[in-house]
Chains A and B, each alone.
Chain A
Amino acid sequence: MGLKKILDNMKPAFSEGGKLSAFGSLFDAAETFFYVPNETAKVRGAHIHDAIDSKRSIFFVIIALIPAILFGMYNIGYQHNLAVGVPTDDIFGQFLYGLGVMLPKIVVSYAVGLGIECAVAQWKKEEVHEGFFVTGMLIPLIVPVNCPLWILAIATAFAVIFAKEVFGGTGMNIFNPALVTRAFLFFAYPAMMSGDKVWVNENYMDCINGTIDGYSCATPLGQLGAGEPVTYDAMDTIIGTIPGSIGETSFIAIMIGAVILIWAGIASWKIIVSTFVGGALLAYLLPYEGAQNFEWWEQLTVGGFAFGAVFMATDPVTAARTECGKYIYGFLIGAMAIIIRVLNPGFPEGMMLAILLMNVFAPLIDYCFIQSNINKRAKRAVK
């Protein structure tokens, strides 16, 4: 086969001692991207293996993200047209506009993140891990549409280095790197991340120049936080034609992703379901004071709640790893997100902080379940 030959011919140059050995990890990544590794099992141990590998699992997460990505692009254009007062019936045109705004963000996020990953992999003489393919796609989806590209690049670099690589890379991190990106933006560049002006893109160049000159357009959570009546009805929040971070607005698109993830067995249904249960319970018990035009259950459809529950809380590395622990982990995320939203006037959105907080507590939750197993065993021995 032609391609295989080409790769085989190139291999010596990229191997240790070759002219291009500095790019060896990049070559490895490309080779395993094209071909399943031909490595066979060792002399002892399982000789056969399940066909699933982390690459396939990770790309299924991206597949599950596609509805949210596509809708997010459309919504950028739709909100733009609303803002500048153009009729909003040109669906394809609006989508193209959104694509134009979104694509640079994806490119920047991947270029910065994968660049650092490749460099680190090369330095540690390891294979490049594919985990960043999901992180790099999540990052553009959870930032406001007007977030300038240079800030996005800094935040991505910060997250990859300090939230992931210093812990040892994919599988070893404590915090969800995509959320660390957002948290970094949130605290380092608050003006770019909140307020009413960052959600609608008026001009392509906004995000390149970094001038925030957006059209004022509050999100439902912003309105609730400010005690104003919500100007969107429930159907808007379910379909997603509201301002907000790019990927988070459409409840329907996110749920399609959830079905794919749960069906493929890649995300834990336990975490997703318990997050919604926790959120629903708290939303019911703890309504916004004086909220107008807002039902309690809309808490689950506005803001980043659904997106966080499906794509962020389920990150297997940073979530609870014991099966029982997953119920508690998810429940507390849902509950905490609503508590932060309703009780904390400083943060209209609570999902990001709730998940990061529970990332910290996930090992503690696991500890309790594992310790009970250990205690049971110790007790048995004494008897």
Chain B
Amino acid sequence: MANVIKLRKGLNINLKGKAAAQVSAVPASKVYGLVPDAFWGMKPKVVVKEGDVVKAGDALFVNKLHPEMKFVSPVAGKVTLVERGDRRKVLSVQVEAAASQEYVDFGVKNATSLSGDEVKAALLESGLFSFFVQRPYAVVANPSDAPKGIYVSAFSDMPLAADFEGVVLAGEVENFQTGITALSRIAKVYLGVQPGSKLTSVKDAEVTVFDGKCPAGNVGVQINNTHPINKGEVVWTIGAEEVIFIGRLFNEGKVNLTRTIAVAGSEIKTPSYKKVLVGAKIADIVAGNVNTDKKVRLIDGNPLTGVKTSEEGFLLAHSTEVTAIPEGDDADELFGWIAPRFNEFSVSRSYFSWLQSSKKEYVLDARVKGGHRHMIFSGEYDSVFPMDIYPEQLVKAIIAGDIDRMEALGIYEVAPEDFAVAEFVDSSKVELQRIVREGLDMLRKENE
């Protein structure tokens, strides 16, 4: 029986527009784009030219710091544009999809008979290695590290997040198991699941059940509550659906980056799941499905940790959902500091959401809903931060740029996403995820 860990702290945010458990395919996009920014901590070196013809699985760019790390095209077709921004920063590499899809053949392999190095080599060759995120620093993993463990969370309890076990996993159980087995050759695999999960029977992984509110599904929270990371240790994490990609590589011999994402949110007309390739155009994913009667914010990811996008954007590599909420910048709400505001959600009982049923679904817009202040009220972050870390003090150490103190307070163990719920509840409206990101980057620069 899997070990069960109960987490007391956290907050579930019940938003309107959860995806119904129906999966449909999205018509193929004309152009796909791979966005380097989705792989944080990597310097892209583009290895294709405009006009080159690529297969699905051919590298579009590599990591300058580790050239063996490839970032491969999700589709076969012709490279049409290497989009660059300020200081020639690569924004995206775009591929016009060919009519018939050809895949690079990496060969079907039996993961159980491979050594860890062979699995790693296969993942590097196929570009799937780039989906690993390492801690410390929450950046793309370094292939020359030997991780202490590989952590996978098989659920997300972020608002509007895709249901991995209930929907995404359907029909992919075998690939998931193969992926886990392959990973277990590199290092011990730890799988975090929600209560009542059937994944407790997964082989080649130590399965732990996490029973708690959001962010219990965050892999960082799960690591901290089982095997906290110490200074000098490295662990890798990877998304559950990305484990399926790995399984497909070994079972089918090709890179198939098809995801089942949730298209959800109060401004989506019929929220449901879509089968779509990484890099697909957001316009194609949400076509005709977004309310047009008000200004809408499209988010690549969930509303707590995602990135604001537009119809022109491309689905980022790690995204498991695309969500739409009202922008709200024309709300002009009068006397918000004292009005009852029955439709607002708050952990504070100065609003009335505590009177409402816990099933009530809220429509929340993208407003910050208050002025930016120094941290005034204490204990806010702590109540939604289920890790053995003092979040407020850690954030203050980052603001102060005090690297020794950041380390002492456990910055190794966190990623920006772990502060997402704290950022939501913060009455001083501090941009916690940005600050943590800057702290991690600062530390990495210092140590490397």
Contacts and interface: CB of A to CB of B under 8 A. Distances in A.
Interface string A110-127: 000000000000000001
A6 interface: no
Given A131-B376, A370-B393, A373-B390, A48 B424 contact: yes
A19 interface: no
Interface stretch (B169-177, B275-283, B343-351): B343-351
B367 A37 contact: yes
B331 interface: yes
Contacts of A127: 371-372
A287 B228 CA distance: 50
B158 to A, nearest CB: 10
Contacts of B433: 44-46
Interface in B79-121: none
Contacts of A39: 329, 367-368
Contact of A377 (B230, B325, B369, B382): B230
Interface in B109-162: 159
Given A37-B367, A57-B350, A57-B377, A47 B297 contact: yes
Nearest to B338: A59
B328 interface: yes
Contacts of A11: none
Given A50-B425, A316-B377, A321-B378, A57 B348 contact: yes
B9 to A, nearest CB: 11
A35 B332 CA distance: 6
Say which size band chain B's interface belongs to.
Answer: 35 or more
A297 to B, nearest CB: 29
A100 interface: no
A54 B370 contact: yes
Given A37-B370, A266-B348, A380-B230, A323 B332 contact: no
Say which size band chain A's interface belongs to.
Answer: 35 or more
A170 interface: yes
A232 to B, nearest CB: 36
A47 B427 contact: no
A51 B341 contact: yes
Interface in A131-174: 131, 168-172
Contact of A319 (B230, B336, B378, B390): B378
B409 A52 contact: no
B332 A50 contact: no
Contacts of B369: 36-37, 49-53
B159 A48 contact: yes
Interface in B229-275: 230-232
Given A55-B371, A323-B379, A60 B307 contact: no
Q: Is the interface of B mostly helix, strand, loop or mixed?
A: loop
B417 to A, nearest CB: 10
B434 A42 contact: yes
Nearest to B232: A381
Contacts of B416: 45
Contacts of A51: 336, 341, 344-346, 348, 351, 369
A317 interface: yes
Given A266-B350, A377-B410, A43 B364 contact: no
B13 A52 contact: no
A36 B230 contact: no
A334 to B, nearest CB: 19
A189 interface: no
A284 interface: no
B388 A38 contact: no
Contacts of B400: none
B25 to A, nearest CB: 28
A326 B393 CA distance: 15
A285 interface: no
Nearest to A171: B374
B334 interface: yes
Contact of B331 (A36, A48, A373): A36
Interface string B298-326: 01000111111000000000000000010
Contact of B368 (A41, A264, A374): A41
Contact of B350 (A46, A56, A376, A381): A56
Contact of A36 (B231, B336, B374, B425): B336
B230 A381 contact: yes
Given A46-B423, A170-B376, A171-B428, A32 B371 contact: yes
Contact of A43 (B232, B308, B336, B375): B308
Nearest to B336: A36
A53 B337 contact: yes
Contacts of A170: 373-374, 376
A43 B370 contact: no
Interface centre among B307, B369, B388, B433 (most CB of A within 10 A): B369
B348 A56 contact: yes
A204 interface: no
B366 interface: yes
Contacts of B431: 42, 45
A258 B371 CA distance: 26
A52 B427 contact: yes
A378 B308 contact: no
A53 to B, nearest CB: 2
Contact of B299 (A47, A266, A319): A47
Contacts of A326: 379
B163 interface: no
B429 interface: yes
A91 B52 CA distance: 90
B327 interface: yes
B363 to A, nearest CB: 10
Closest 4 CB pairs of A and B: A53-B370, A171-B374, A36-B336, A51-B344
Interface of B: 13, 15, 159, 228, 230-232, 297, 299, 303-308, 325, 327-338, 341, 344-351, 364-379, 382, 388-390, 392-393, 408-410, 416, 420, 423-429, 431-434, 437
25 contacts: A1-B332, A34-B334, A37-B369, A38-B332, A39-B368, A42-B431, A43-B308, A46-B424, A48-B424, A49-B370, A50-B347, A50-B426, A51-B346, A52-B347, A53-B337, A54-B377, A54-B428, A56-B348, A57-B377, A170-B374, A316-B376, A319-B378, A321-B379, A373-B409, A373-B410
